[in-house]
Structure 1
Amino acid sequence: MHDGMVDFKAETRAQIMGLPIAEVDPAQPRLFAADAFWPIFERLRAEDPVHFTDSATYGPFWSIALWDDIMAVDSNHQVFSSADGIALSTLEAKAENEKRGTRPSFISMDPPRHDEQRKTVSPVVAPSNLQVMGPLIRERAGKILDSLPIGVEFDWVEHVSKDLTAMTLATLFDFPQEDRGLLPYWSDVMTNSPGHGPVESWEQKREVLDQMVGRFVGLWNERVNAPPGGDLISMLAHGQSTRNMERAEYAGNLGLLIIGGNDTTRNTISGSVYALNKHPGEYAKLKADPSLIPSMVSETIRWQTPLTHMMRTATQDFELRGKTIRKGDRVVMWYVSGNRDASAVHDPETYCIDRERPRHHMSFGFGIHRCVGNRLAELQLTIIWEEIMKRFPTIELAGEPTRTHSIFIKGYETLPVVIPTRT
């Protein structure tokens, strides 16, 4: 890490630690982009785990910082509803959404509609289908890894993380593989504010997303008139609870499936290379015993926490740790903080690939909205590392990553690496 970044992190820590607790604001994308946000949650966990912020950028919201409280909110969908969105958005983004109309998806629904729509798409990630997909993912992972340069610096995000997840996502949608690069591109457009990521203005963002929806409406029209198939579009087009969806609802569900199918896996693939390089003792353990790969995958999903938070809206007044959350208040469950809560995770700051309970993390959420594709994410990560270990004695960082400018996606824009040699 270069000296300027070390200085910035040290200055940021000093600033955060010096603030009155009431002024501590977790919703600062620039701190997430600099990986300098951690002291905020250290303070919230210790001093104010149910914390109110009235942000000039995001408006008023509550932050939930401890594991048990996050569980309590996440598993109580009667009081904490997803219907008003699942990510904390800026006031500007909120105004923009109101202008163009919202795009609801099943993750931002409550039962019974949530349950019906989730049930429609869940067969695509059922164990039987994952067994079928496993060999295909392995073949593709092998081809990607075999095409990588040796002894030359390249961007791991672009050449590995994005490509493998785009291939898998294209298969789930039965989307043309030659156009698969559009899927991570659309995901980035959806999850980044204008000026960060691929688009510069709200107008450009609208145009790109309208093109995305137009492309998928074309696929819907093809599949609705064909016999039911095993891909996500066909399942939605023929599903009893989804076949009469409005265009906006279809668009919302597409957004959910593209972001959900892309970001978690893509950023954890990158995060695993980064984490193992930053913890060479753990990398040595993995090389000595490749059977630790599944455990390493789960530990990286905890350590990375690819989605920093989920938001809910209170449907009634509710008391938590002596604070009264009012009906209509937005409540942000910071998974990235819960995964570092020492009361729930032993020695949480340590990256340890042979933990006793590696799957004990909250990166996939809890309750009715628990990530539907969690097993597929684990499968892709396990396979890519099994194939890496067959080919490369080591993958080395060639510099620090560029991180996503977002309080929602905790990810990597670039990760420079060198592979010194093949096995």
Structure 2
Amino acid sequence: MAETVPVQHLPRPRISYRKPARPHYLERDDYVKPASEIDLDAIDFVDVEQWRQHKMWDRFARLRKEDPVHYTPDSPVGPYWSITRYEDVKAVDVDNKRFSSDASYGGITLGKPLEEFTAESFISADEPDHWNQRKPMQPAVAPALLRNEFEPLIRERTRAVLDSLPDDKPFDWVEAVSTELTAMMLATLLGYPQERRRELTRWSDVTTNPFDPDICPGGREQWLQELNACLGTFSTIYAERQSAPPTNDLISLLAHGPATRNLSPQELLGNVLLLIIGGNDTTRNTMSGGIYALNKFPDEYAKLRDDPGLIPNMVSEMIRWQTPLAYMRRTALEDVSMHGKTIRKGDQVAMWYISANRDERFWEQDPDALIIDRKQAKDHISFGFGIHRCYGNRLAELQLRILWEEIMQRFTHIEVIDEPSRTSSAFVHGYTWLPVICHRKA
């Protein structure tokens, strides 16, 4: 995969510290009550304010204990079931005969797609369509490519970004590091112009936060306009790649794959957005979440300084602790009994990966803590399980490992100086602002 823009000539990110403004109604401290003060039937994880305030943990803990297969009858996305224990989430994820991902049933997110805009992709398909569309893209993350091309490229970029950071001055880690590094990698994967790479992260934010007034102040109309712009851009690129010899970038692989060379506009947009979100949000938010977690657990930071050899295992633990995509949806294809409840044919089912990764029944050590040498760390379910397991997981782990190897070469401590601002989303569990000060080694 050719890299046309030298790292040293890439535009630098804006280094800022300013905390993003929030609409006044989102600043209420009493907006989200503790789980103990609400009726069990009233627990609804779609309410994004509990995610922005990070007050969903006691709700998940209560459901795991009292109601592991929980029905929410009244929600903005319609009624749905919540699966919250590790083994139950895993069981649903691998049961493709009784639980469907297909877009014709609603796909992988709760609620009905907006009538004005539908997007279909291989993640929202069942077999054999899922594998037929997924298979052509495997060469983009082949082990030899990761080792021989991506690893040196990622390391060079990571060094350049970290060396550009200010010393002993506050700045926003999300903007300057997490978003910047993932945008560069995403542009490379898609064969997209590096000078326009922030368009990709913008489309990711718009897709996953369509009604957040900070992201789309123009509401649904703006959301539709921006996704139409994304479709128009990639329709042109897709047509160009169809006419050119095949390469290993993802759009070329789609353009030449037997099952993906003639995608409809909806299918093209769905697959492009899947690749953008999958290549952006998982890595970007774990890059930020890892910094935040080590500051919350300073003994673990000290452990890391004493033994940087723990980084590979720590990466898995950070992905578990953060769980960047909180859930995936399935639709029941028949009546299914679980824990004395009957999930009816056609019901929406949310597999809460974020809860499974904190399940006291599975994790032998405190699941709410970051423990960088946790023996079970690689058993996390953040990448999903079964046929839909994230095919870019090795690339995400590579980016995170290199980042922390280079951090430990340069800094004694990256200090978080305020609580972060978080995404207003029940789907993407992430950060919009994380203020830090870097203390560089002498």
**TM-score, L = length of structure 1:** 0.94
Flag structure 2 segments of 5+ consecutive residues without an equivalent: 1-25
- Checking the alignment, whether the CA contact within 8 Å between 2:44 and 2:75 is kept in structure 1 is no
Contact 2:117 2:224 in 1 (8 A): no
SS of equivalent residue, structure 1 residue 51: strand
Q: Is the 8 A contact 2:82 2:352 kept in 1?
A: yes
Counterpart residue number, 2:127: 111
**Percent of aligned pairs with the same residue?**
52
CA distance in 1 between counterparts of 2:146 and 2:163 reads 24
Deviations 1:56-111 (A, max 9, x none): 3121000001111101100011111011211124xxxx3xx442242110000000
Q: Distance in 2 between matches of 1:421 and 1:196?
A: 37
Conserved 8 A contact 2:328-2:351: yes
- Relative to structure 1, the CA distance from residue 143 to residue 373 in structure 2 (aligned partners, 3 Å threshold; closer, same or farther) is same
**Matching residue's letter, 2:53:** A
Find the counterpart in structure 2 of residue 121 from structure 1: 137
In 2 relative to 1, CA 277–345 (structure 1 residues): closer, same or farther, beyond 3 Å?
A: same
The answer to whether the aligner puts 1:286 opposite 2:307 as a matched pair is no
Displacement of 1:24:
2.2
Query: Quick check: 170-179 or 123-132, which moved more?
Result: 123-132
Please list, as runs of the form range in 1=range in 2, the aligned pairs for 1:37-116 lying within 5 A after superposition. 37-83=56-102, 84-89=106-111, 94=112, 97-116=113-132
- Corresponding position: 1:140 with 2:162: no
Residue 328 (str. 1) matches residue 349 (str. 2): no
What displacement does 1:389 show? 0.7
Contact 1:141–1:164, Cα closer than 8 Å, also in 2? yes
Q: Any conservation in 2 of the 1:124–1:232 contact (CA below 8 Å)?
A: yes
Find the counterpart in structure 2 of residue 344 from structure 1. Answer: 362
Distance across 1 between alignment mates of 2:42 and 2:86:
22
Q: Which amino acid aligns with 1:87?
A: T
Partner of 1:130: 146
Partner of 1:158: 175
Indicate how the Cα distance of structure 1 residues 152 and 78 shifts in structure 2: closer, same or farther if over 3 A, else same.
Answer: same
Matched residues in 1 for 2:187 and 2:156: separation? 15
CA contact (8 A) 1:404 1:410 kept: yes
Structure 1 residue ranges, 4+ long, deviating more than 6 angstroms after superposition: none
Please give the alpha-carbon distance, in whole angstroms, between the structure 1 residues aligned to 2:315 and 2:421: 22
Offset at residue 19 of structure 1 (A): 2.5
Query: CA offset at residue 194 of structure 1?
Result: 2.2
> Pick from 22, 25, 34: which aligns with 2:53?
34
Give the Cα separation in 1 of the matches to 2:315 and 2:422.
20
Contact 2:46–2:75 under 8 Å retained in 1:
no
Q: How does 1:12-411 map to 2 (within 5 A)?
A: 12-13=33-34, 16-83=35-102, 84-89=106-111, 94=112, 97-131=113-147, 132-200=149-217, 201-346=219-364, 347-411=366-430
- Aligned counterparts of 2:358 and 2:170: Cα–Cα separation in 1: 33
The whole-number CA distance in structure 1 between the counterparts of 2:187 and 2:117 is 27
Aligned partners of 1:82 and 1:109 also within 8 Å: yes
Residue 100 of structure 1 aligns to which amino acid in structure 2?
A: E
For residue 100 of structure 1, give the secondary structure of its aligned residue in structure 2.
Answer: coil
Please report how far the alpha carbon of residue 345 of structure 1 lies from its aligned counterpart in structure 2 after TM superposition: 1.1
CA distance in 1 between counterparts of 2:146 and 2:114 reads 38
Distance 1:106 1:382 in 2: 28
1:26 positional shift: 2.4
Please say if residues 183 and 197 of structure 2, whose CA atoms lie closer than 8 Å, have aligned partners that are also in contact. yes
Work out the CA distance in 1 between the residues paired with 2:118 and 2:248.
Answer: 28
In the alignment, the residues of structure 2 paired with residue 33 and residue 194 of structure 1 have an alpha-carbon distance, to the nearest angstrom, of: 14
Instruction: Give the Cα–Cα distance (whole angstroms) in 2 for the partners of residues 380 and 196 of structure 1.
Output: 31
Question: 1:132-179 CA distances to partner (integer Å, 9 max, x unpaired)?
Answer: 200000000000001101111100000000000011110001101111
Q: Is the 8 A contact 1:315 1:327 kept in 2?
A: yes
- Letter of the 1:363 partner, please give it: S
Return the offset for 1:8: 4.3
CA shift for structure 1 position 239? 0.5
> Post-superposition shift, 1:196?
3.5
Q: In the aligned structure 1, how far is the partner of 2:32 from the partner of 2:184?
A: 42
Task: Specify every segment of 5 or more residues in structure 1 that has no aligned partner in the other structure, as ranges.
Answer: none
Letter aligned with residue 147 of structure 1: S
Residue 198 of structure 1 and its aligned partner are, at CA, apart by 2.1
Q: Give the aligned residue type for 2:159.
A: G
Once residues 403 and 101 of structure 1 are traced to their aligned partners in structure 2, the CA distance between those partners, rounded to angstroms, is 27
Distance of aligned partners of 1:414 and 1:98 in 2 relative to their CA distance in 1, 3 Å threshold: closer
Q: How far apart, in 2, do the equivalents of 1:279 and 1:8 lie?
A: 25
d(CA) in 1 for partners of 2:114, 2:134: 25
Q: Which residue of 1 aligns with 2:15?
A: none
CA distance in 1, matches of 2:31, 2:116: 42
